[in-house]
Amino acid sequence: MTNALLSMTGFARHASAHEGTSWAWELRSVNAKGFELKCRLGVWTDRLEPECRKRLTAKIKRGTVNLGLRIESADISAYSLDADWLASLQNLCAEREEQPSLVELLALPGVLRPHAQHDEAGERALVPLLLASLDLCIDDFIASRRAEGAPLAETLEFILTDIAASIEMAKQQAKQDAGGFANKIRSQVDELFGSDQRLDPQRLAQEAALLAVKGDVAEELQRLDAHVASARQLLSGKGPKGRALDHLCQEFVRESNTLCSKSTSITMTNLGLKLKASVDQLREQCANLE
């Protein structure tokens, strides 16, 4: 039924190395209404952020995405310790009564700085390797989103099938309700004035017709049918689906509410409430899709 459903949550890590320098990219994401990218890159690799954004936005359309890069050199002489910055961090931690380890402090940006000789030539040589590694990380990240999205396909189809079944039951109930309007009016009159009260057949027919028009839910049921078809078409299509399904769920809710407000029987009201419950389930699941 579906074509590569993608969850908004995912994680990937890709590590590589070149001539004594090792690095690791990490990508993780959580649900969001739109797309937001947060980058945590190294001292000199900050300049890569525009290119990273370009590559990520080309393939990821929704979710709060965190991108991190950690670079390490096997040559300890390639780095120097910023003792003043380290002392400032230690004083700040002492004021806050915090006790981070030395390893945690050394991992903070700016504490260990690359020497000037670890310079532009070496950095330029690493850039294409870093970006190639990022591309692989993005591919793994999308694969993880696809793996998390796959179980949603069966769940969404189950919910849509349940909604379609409720719509069919509502159609049958609407026919029964329409045929019983005259009897309903007669019963109410009997209850108020007694069974010996005679009703003008023409007036009874007019009142039954008015009640039938007021309680007519044919258009709502037709639109609900159309929404089910649209949802299935979206799920079988390509590209991001979450935002479109969010809007479609709003339409489901609107028609379900109208169905309940027009209801002329307890059975129809219960069917409308069941529809609303199923639509809520659908909306909860769609909120996880890219």
Q: Verify that 162 and 258 share a domain, yes or no.
A: yes
Residue 290, class by beta-carbon neighbours within 10 Å (0-12 exposed, 13-18 middle, 19+ buried)? buried
In this predicted structure, what is the pLDDT of residue 77?
54
Q: Can you say how many angstroms the Cα of residue 62 is from the centroid of all Cα atoms in its chain?
A: 8
Q: Verify that 161 and 129 share a domain, yes or no.
A: no
Q: What is the pLDDT of residues 43-90, one digit of tens each?
A: 677 788 999 999 999 999 899 999 999 887 655 555 677 788 788 888
Q: What is the pTM of this model?
A: 0.67
> Domain ends where: 119, 147, 175?
147
pLDDT tops 50 at residue 28: yes
Question: What is d(CA 25, CA 244) in angstroms, rounded to the nearest whole number?
Answer: 31
Residue 1 located in a structural domain: no
Domain of residue 254: give its range. 149-286
Number of domains in the chain: 2
E strand map for the chain? 10-18, 21-30, 35-40, 63-73, 79-81, 112-114
Q: What is the pLDDT of residues 94-120, one digit of tens each?
A: 888 888 887 777 777 777 666 544 456
> Domain ends where: 147, 164, 192?
147
Give 246's contacts (C-beta < 8 A, 6+ positions apart).
283, 286, 287
Q: What is the pLDDT of residues 5-15, one digit of tens each?
A: 889 999 999 99
CA neighbor of 212 nearest in space, from 247, 182, 254: 182
Inter-residue contact 52 to 67 (CB < 8 Å)? yes
Both tokens of residue 132? 């190639």
Question: What is d(CA 265, CA 215) in angstroms, rounded to the nearest whole number?
Answer: 10
Q: Verify that 134 and 234 share a domain, yes or no.
A: no
